[in-house]
Amino acid sequence: MTDLMAIAQTYQLWVIEDCAQAIGATWQGQKVGSIGHIGCFSFYPTKNLGACGDGGAVTTNDEAIAHKIRVLADHGRIESYYHEAIGVNSRLDALQAEILSIKLQHLDQWNALRSQRATYYSQHLCDIANLHLPTVPSGGKSVWNQYTIRITDAPSLPTAPPAVGRDRVRSSLQQDGISTMIYYPLPLHQQPVYLQQAPIHPLPIAESVTHQVLSLPMFPELTSLQQNQVVEALRKLSTEKTLP
């Protein structure tokens, strides 16, 4: 963010932070969502602060932007039945707001528990070959919405398609009753909607990482017994050479 803000300042750009997975995270002690001009948060149920349905919030220190966002989120309405813009219906439901305000009181504790779970994974998986673990740059504090590893195929499998290792590991874990997710199976620039709109511009790193990523179980209530099962299952795959 420091580098990004410097570039933005030089070229007079707006910075919109996508904090959907990062509520409570900090960079150099500053909360994400307060560093750029606008921060966008998601309260989708899988997020660290999840509603029992959809929801979200926008943060900004700019009064004019705050006004505009309030208007846009309320069908462009400035007062009852007077519309100054074409907006959307994106009001936060009162019931969701109530649920979120109760859950918000627990957020720091839940984030700390996620952090402990992440440390456990990192300590117990670090010696397994071809597993690449997530790291946090110094100065940053992650809130671990996901613990996403990368699985790369060994050089002994030069002709294997890139997904072989990851997909094999995923289905073996599934057979052991361990659910994992792929965030995300198709990078943004290859989504059908964008393919229709613009010529495809290759992004080779995003495209190859898509075939390597695997998000392990991660939530505050994850017990050490469950986490140990994940670790042992991965270790077993490594010994059996299912893991490349």
Ligand X SMILES: Cc1ncc(COP(=O)(O)O)c(C=O)c1O
Q: Site residues (CB under 6 A) for ligand X?
A: 18, 20-21, 42, 44, 56
As measured in angstroms, the least distance from the Cβ of 231 to ligand X is 25
| Nearest alpha-carbon partner for 60 in 28, 38, 27 | 38
As measured in angstroms, the least distance from the Cβ of 20 to ligand X is 3
For ligand X, which is the closer residue by CB, 22 or 125?
Answer: 22
As measured in angstroms, the least distance from the Cβ of 47 to ligand X is 7
The CA–CA distances, whole Å, from 125 to 141, 153, 214 equal 20, 17, 14
For ligand X, which is the closer residue by CB, 126 or 205?
Answer: 205
Find all residues with CB under 8 Å of 75, minimum gap 6, and list them: 83, 87, 88, 89
As measured in angstroms, the least distance from the Cβ of 154 to ligand X is 31
As measured in angstroms, the least distance from the Cβ of 148 to ligand X is 12
For ligand X, which is the closer residue by CB, 45 or 139?
Answer: 45
As measured in angstroms, the least distance from the Cβ of 52 to ligand X is 14
Sign of CA dihedral 232, 237, 238, 244: negative
For ligand X, which is the closer residue by CB, 21 or 238?
Answer: 21
For ligand X, which is the closer residue by CB, 78 or 186?
Answer: 186
Number of H helices, E strands in the chain: 8, 11
* Strand 26-27 with 140-141, pairing: antiparallel
For 139, phi then psi, to 5°, come to 100, -10
As measured in angstroms, the least distance from the Cβ of 183 to ligand X is 8
For ligand X, which is the closer residue by CB, 111 or 130?
Answer: 111
Hey, which bits of the chain come out as E strands? 16-18, 26-27, 30-31, 38-42, 56-60, 77-79, 82-83, 131-132, 140-141, 147-151, 213-216
For ligand X, which is the closer residue by CB, 48 or 130?
Answer: 48
Q: Are 127 and 159 in contact (CB under 8 A)?
A: no
